[in-house]
């Protein structure tokens, strides 16, 4: 039986590049090296603590100069050509590499590294630390345009495998406390590249959203996710249900389009999934995103976020969860975060979750009929 092959190499400045070849790939295992002459890696960003909340803000000035919506012949995520010396030196199915201008990067100079979670939890004025961590780009395809939804089932499975393997590898790195794979899709979300891709952030702390989740589990009880799944599976908000995963619109959805997906057993992260679970996840996720795209006549902007348990906390209680959110509240209307949401974090929903679920179910059915997985 064919398997997904993994081939590791390095770029001209020492950053890691990993090729994931589809199980049914037609590519040769040999890949060209990176022949570019690159400047040394920029200094790693720094973090500043917001004393009002205790949260850390990464100040990554190098990101200001990143490429913005380039033409196809200057696509930095396409396989390199003589006229386009891109980030990926040869042909590929799926490619993962370290971001050249990361928000969280290697400790190039040992000057002000975080000293563990206790250090970061302390509160004080004008506290700074180096933004130690890792940011990776996950290229879904060599094509210039598209998204996860435009991939074949075989390619979707390769991407899921890449997420799982990179979650395991990043979680094992020193100073990493949480790993977050995600995809931003659409100009309305603020993407700077049309190339089908996602990212993986490896943070030196537990993110604010997950910190709140851990507090909720402490207050509710360790079976919180099991109870959520049981309630949602019996509701009218279910969208897709397989042997291993269920997708649904949550009871208290904040966004006009908001979908969650939970595994049926407790799994802390993608690295802990079995091969059978990854097989099903690739298919269900593909169907879900194709359905969300079928809601209207033009592609749907969204953020697709894989919430995973922290590396060293809550592994027995925090369950892997996919959350897909879109600000699109009608064919030509977007929900913008106004005063209540942006300033106070107090959301007001525009679409009842049950109505949203009915619309998404109908769109999934149309997409399944037009383009079955």
Do the Cβ atoms of 272 and 165 come closer than 8 Å? no
Domain 5-205 and domain 210-370 have a common topology: yes
What tens digit of pLDDT does each residue of 39-79 get? 999 899 999 999 999 999 999 987 777 777 889 999 999 99
Give pLDDT, residue 266: 98
Report the pLDDT averaged over residues 151-172: 98
CATH class (in words) of the domain with range 5-205: alpha beta
Give the helix/strand (H/E) hosting 324.
Answer: strand 321-326
| 197 among known catalytic residues | yes
Do the Cβ atoms of 47 and 56 come closer than 8 Å? yes
Domain ranges of the chain: 5-205, 210-370
Give pLDDT, residue 108: 87
| CA pair distance 248, 258, nearest whole angstrom | 9
Report the pLDDT averaged over residues 216-243: 98
Q: How many CB atoms lie within 10 A of CB 372?
A: 9
Give pLDDT, residue 190: 87
Q: What are the phi and psi torsion angles at 365 (to 5°)?
A: -60, -40
Arithmetic mean of pLDDT over the chain: 95
- 109 pLDDT tier (thresholds 50, 70, 90): confident
Could you tell me the strand order of the sheet in which 257-263 lies? 5-10, 16-21, 94-98, 134-139, 197-203, 178-185, 302-307, 321-326, 257-263, 245-248, 238-241
Do the Cβ atoms of 96 and 80 come closer than 8 Å? no
Residue 3, pLDDT > 90, answer: yes
Residue 1, pLDDT > 70, answer: no
- 192 pLDDT tier (thresholds 50, 70, 90): confident
Q: What is the DSSP string of 250-302?
A: -TT--SSEEEEEEESS--SSGGG--HHHHHHHHHHHHHHHHHHHTTSSSPPPE
Q: How many CB atoms lie within 10 A of CB 220?
A: 13
Q: Which among 197, 244, 260, 307 is annotated as catalytic?
A: 197
Superfamily of chain region 210-370: HIT-like (3.30.428.10)
């Amino acid at each position: 039986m064919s398997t997904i092959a993994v081939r590791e190499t390095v770029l001209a400045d020492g950053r890691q590049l990993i090729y994931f070849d589809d199980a049914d790939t037609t590519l040769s295992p040999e890949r060209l090296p990176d022949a570019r002459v690159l400047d040394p890696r920029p200094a790693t960003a720094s973090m500043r603590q917001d004393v009002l909340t205790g949260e850390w803000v990464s100040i990554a000035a190098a990101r200001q100069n990143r490429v913005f919506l380039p033409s196809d012949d200057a696509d930095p995520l396409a396989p390199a050509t003589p006229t386009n010396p891109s980030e990926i030196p040869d042909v590929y199915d799926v490619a993962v590499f370290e971001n050249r201008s990361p928000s969280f990067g290697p400790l190039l100079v040992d000057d002000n590294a975080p000293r563990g979670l206790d250090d970061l939890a302390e509160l004080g004025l004008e506290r700074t630390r180096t933004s130690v961590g890792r940011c990776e780009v996950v290229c879904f395809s060599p094509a210039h345009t598209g998204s996860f939804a435009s991939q074949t089932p075989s390619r979707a499975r390769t991407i899921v495998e890449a997420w799982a393997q990179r979650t395991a590898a990043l979680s094992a790195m020193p100073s990493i406390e949480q790993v977050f794979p995600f995809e931003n899709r659409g100009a309305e979300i603020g993407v700077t590249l049309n190339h089908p891709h996602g990212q993986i952030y490896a943070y030196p702390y537990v993110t604010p959203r997950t910190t709140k989740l851990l507090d909720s589990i402490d207050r509710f009880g360790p079976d919180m996710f099991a109870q959520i799944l049981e309630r949602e599976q019996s509701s009218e908000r279910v969208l897709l249900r397989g042997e291993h995963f269920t997708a649904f619109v949550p009871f208290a959805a904040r966004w006009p389009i908001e979908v969650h997906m939970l595994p049926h057993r407790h799994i802390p992260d993608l690295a802990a999934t079995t091969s059978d679970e990854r097989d099903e996840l690739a298919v269900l996720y593909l169907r879900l995103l194709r359905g969300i795209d079928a809601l209207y006549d033009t592609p749907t902007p969204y953020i697709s976020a894989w919430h995973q348990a922290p590396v060293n906390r809550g592994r027995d209680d925090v369950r892997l969860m996919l959350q897909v959110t879109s600000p699109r509240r009608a064919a030509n209307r977007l929900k913008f975060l106004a005063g209540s949401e942006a300033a106070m974090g107090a959301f007001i929903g525009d679409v009842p979750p049950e109505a949203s679920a009915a619309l998404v179910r109908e769109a999934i059915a149309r997409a399944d009929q037009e383009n079955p997985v």
